[in-house]
């Protein structure tokens, strides 16, 4: 508890005092039988005396006009706000972005503002927070992250205004001056194969059964993301067996996935993703591990049906083991697999950007902003002034063998899977 160092009485209902935890004087005054305490924001005693008289006058006017609010500490308001968001998410409501808001509040806003009164958050305090946040993050956050942080803070202000703990005019203006979105780190085909081989070695060397299962699941999880472009996180983790669709067109077997929950589905509805041929490999692995699967069962779970939060950490460990954690476009994470899918699709020149945007549940502008560096490679023949004899781009031997095996297995198993899907209600 702070210790009072000095006190100066102005009259019976107003005095200023100094504490050992601050160089600024505080004013304590009585209005209509209740005592209130506010910082004068002044270190000079004479200036603090003048500020104290002004504070009491302002609060008296607010009380008489019915605009007086009883302020709350930031932490208390933020925790109430988080509780409300968690309640909505638990009952099928709210936004997917609420998870990001909660994370930002717990990691940045609450530790910094803590017991500061919500009505004391002015531009000076927000500037202090901006400096502290850069130091904590170790970098200047990009605009999209700052927008998320601002949205989280606005949720807290909205809660405070609704409960009359602050006035609308007291809500400060928030800044979003961050770095422009940078390139997205991805993998080349050779790099991805190295990552897969590393995870396989880690799986085979696991000492605990649960660790082995997590690494085994990660292999299939990564393969699905890199061959569909589905977002790691909610989009992947909410997939059920009934979301996988299978059809045949001539001699070709086509797999599709219905993405029902995720970042954009609340506004755009369910998105249908067409899978690349290589999707059949992780699919078969998962089918073999879960022979008693039901349509409503989630796909990416451990043997006992429980989910795990260790996939991201395990993937980063594999990247570090393979010496692929860093790249010219920044650090790689599990999300880099989605960026890899988009990059590979752009480089093959088989899809228009608008079709790719719909497939990935994003906008054309977002792809152009973050993947503009890929465009010159897409049109390198047209842009080049030198012509050589054309040769087909060679894929790796492992990739060619994989495609060959896929076609053989699909043609032999389609009828069996089709019959099983009708009986079971899912593939």
Residues spanned by the domain of 143: 74-170
In this predicted model, what pLDDT tens digit does every residue of 222-266 receive, in sequence order?
A: 999 999 999 999 999 999 999 999 988 766 788 999 999 877 666
Residue 93 within any structural domain of the chain? yes
Cα separation of 358 and 384, whole Å?
Answer: 30
Residue 374, pLDDT above cutoff 90? no
pLDDT at 256 (0 to 100): 95
DSSP code per residue over 314-362: HHHHHHHHTT-S--TTS---TTHHHHHHHHHHHHHT-S-HHHHHHHHTS
Beta strand pairing status for 26-31 and 34-39?
antiparallel
Does residue 93 sit in the same domain as residue 33?
Answer: no
Residue 395, pLDDT above cutoff 70? no
CB 396 within 8 A of CB 188: no
pLDDT at 26 (0 to 100): 94
pLDDT at 266 (0 to 100): 62
Q: Out of 65, 92, 115, pick the residue that ends a domain.
A: 65
- The confidence band for 406, taking pLDDT boundaries of 50, 70 and 90, is low
Does residue 134 sit in the same domain as residue 258?
Answer: no
User: What average pLDDT does this structure show over 326-353?
Assistant: 87
**What does pTM read for this prediction?**
0.61
**3-state secondary structure at position 262:** coil
Centre a 10 Å sphere on the Cβ of residue 25 and count the other Cβ atoms it contains. Answer: 24
Q: What is the mean pLDDT of the chain?
A: 85
Q: What is the largest CA-CA distance in the chain?
A: 96
Cα separation of 311 and 308, whole Å?
Answer: 7
Question: Given strand 252-259, what is the order of strands in its sheet?
Answer: 244-249, 252-259, 271-274
Residue 183 within any structural domain of the chain? no
Cα separation of 363 and 365, whole Å?
Answer: 5
**3-state secondary structure at position 122:** coil
CB 119 within 8 A of CB 109: no
Percent of the chain at pLDDT above 70? 84
Residue 179 within any structural domain of the chain? no
Does residue 113 sit in the same domain as residue 166?
Answer: yes
98's tokens: 């609420």
pLDDT at 367 (0 to 100): 81
pLDDT at 230 (0 to 100): 96
Cα separation of 109 and 107, whole Å?
Answer: 7
Q: Out of 13, 38, 65, pick the residue that ends a domain.
A: 65
Does residue 321 sit in the same domain as residue 411?
Answer: yes
1's tokens: 């508890």
In this predicted model, what pLDDT tens digit does every residue of 168-198 receive, in sequence order?
A: 777 888 876 655 555 678 999 999 999 999 9
Residue 237 within any structural domain of the chain? yes
Stated length of the chain: 427
The number of helices, as runs of H, and strands, as runs of E, in the chain is 18, 7
Does residue 84 sit in the same domain as residue 60?
Answer: no
pLDDT at 301 (0 to 100): 97
Q: Is 229 exposed, middle or buried (0-12, 13-18, 19+ CB in 10 A)?
A: buried
Does residue 218 sit in the same domain as residue 103?
Answer: no
CB 259 within 8 A of CB 239: yes
pLDDT at 379 (0 to 100): 44
Percent of the chain at pLDDT above 90? 50
Does residue 162 sit in the same domain as residue 251?
Answer: no
Higher pLDDT, 89 or 390: 89
Does residue 308 sit in the same domain as residue 336?
Answer: yes
pLDDT at 222 (0 to 100): 97
Indicate which CATH number applies to the domain containing 293: 1.10.443.10
User: What average pLDDT does this structure show over 18-45?
Assistant: 89
Residue 291 within any structural domain of the chain? yes
pLDDT at 46 (0 to 100): 93
Residue 181 within any structural domain of the chain? no
Indicate which CATH number applies to the domain containing 19: 3.30.160
Does residue 164 sit in the same domain as residue 221?
Answer: no
Does residue 203 sit in the same domain as residue 88?
Answer: no
Backbone angles phi, psi at 179, to 5 degrees: -75, 145
Q: Out of 115, 141, 170, pick the residue that ends a domain.
A: 170
Residue 386 within any structural domain of the chain? no
Residue 196 within any structural domain of the chain? yes
- Weakest-pLDDT range from 117-121, 151-155, 331-335: 117-121
In this predicted model, what pLDDT tens digit does every residue of 278-319 receive, in sequence order?
A: 898 899 999 999 999 999 999 999 999 999 999 999 999 999
Does residue 274 sit in the same domain as residue 250?
Answer: yes
Considering its fold, how many domains does the chain have in total?
A: 3
Cα separation of 340 and 225, whole Å?
Answer: 9
Does residue 305 sit in the same domain as residue 371?
Answer: yes
């Amino acid at each position: 508890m702070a210790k009072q160092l000095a006190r100066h009485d102005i009259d019976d209902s107003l005095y200023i005092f100094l504490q050992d935890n601050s160089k600024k004087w505080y004013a304590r005054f009585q209005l209509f039988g209740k005592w209130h305490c506010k910082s004068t924001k002044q270190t000079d005693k004479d200036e603090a005396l003048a500020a104290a008289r002004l504070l009491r006058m302002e609060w008296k006017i607010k009380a008489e006009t019915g605009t007086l609010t009883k302020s709350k500490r930031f932490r208390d308001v933020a925790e109430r706000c988080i509780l409300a968001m968690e309640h909505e998410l638990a009952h099928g409501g709210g936004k997917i972005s609420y998870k990001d808001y909660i994370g930002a509040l717990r990691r940045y806003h609450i530790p910094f503002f803590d017991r500061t009164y919500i009505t004391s958050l002015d531009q000076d305090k927000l500037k202090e927070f901006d400096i502290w946040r850069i130091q904590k993050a170790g970098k200047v956050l990009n605009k999209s992250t700052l927008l998320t942080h601002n949205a989280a803070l606005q949720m807290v202000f909205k809660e405070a205004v609704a409960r009359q703990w602050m006035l609308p005019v007291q809500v400060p203006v928030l800044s979003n001056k961050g770095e422009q979105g940078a390139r997205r780190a991805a993998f080349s085909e050779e790099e991805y194969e190295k990552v897969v081989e590393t995870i396989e070695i880690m799986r085979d060397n696991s000492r605990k059964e649960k660790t082995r299962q997590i690494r085994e699941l990660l292999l299939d999880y990564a393969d699905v993301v890199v061959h569909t472009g589905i977002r790691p996180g909610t989009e992947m983790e909410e997939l059920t067996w009934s979301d996988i669709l299978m059809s045949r067109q001539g001699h070709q077997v086509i797999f599709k996935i219905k993405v029902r929950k995720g970042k954009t589905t609340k506004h755009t509805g369910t998105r249908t993703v067409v899978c690349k041929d290589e999707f059949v490999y992780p699919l078969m692995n998962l089918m073999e591990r879960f022979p008693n699967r039901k349509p409503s069962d989630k796909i990416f779970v451990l043997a006992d049906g429980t989910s795990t939060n260790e996939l991201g950490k395990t993937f980063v460990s594999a990247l570090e083991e393979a010496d692929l954690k860093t790249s010219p476009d920044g650090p790689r994470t599990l999300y880099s697999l989605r960026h890899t899918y988009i990059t590979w699709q752009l480089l093959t020149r088989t899809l228009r950007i608008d079709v790719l945007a719909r497939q990935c549940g994003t906008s054309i502008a977002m792809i152009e902003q973050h993947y503009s560096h890929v465009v010159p490679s897409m049109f390198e023949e047209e842009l080049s002034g030198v012509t050589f004899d054309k040769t087909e781009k060679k894929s790796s031997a492992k990739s060619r063998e994989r495609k060959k095996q896929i076609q053989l297995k699909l043609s032999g198993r389609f009828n069996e899977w089709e019959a099983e899907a009708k009986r079971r209600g899912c593939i």
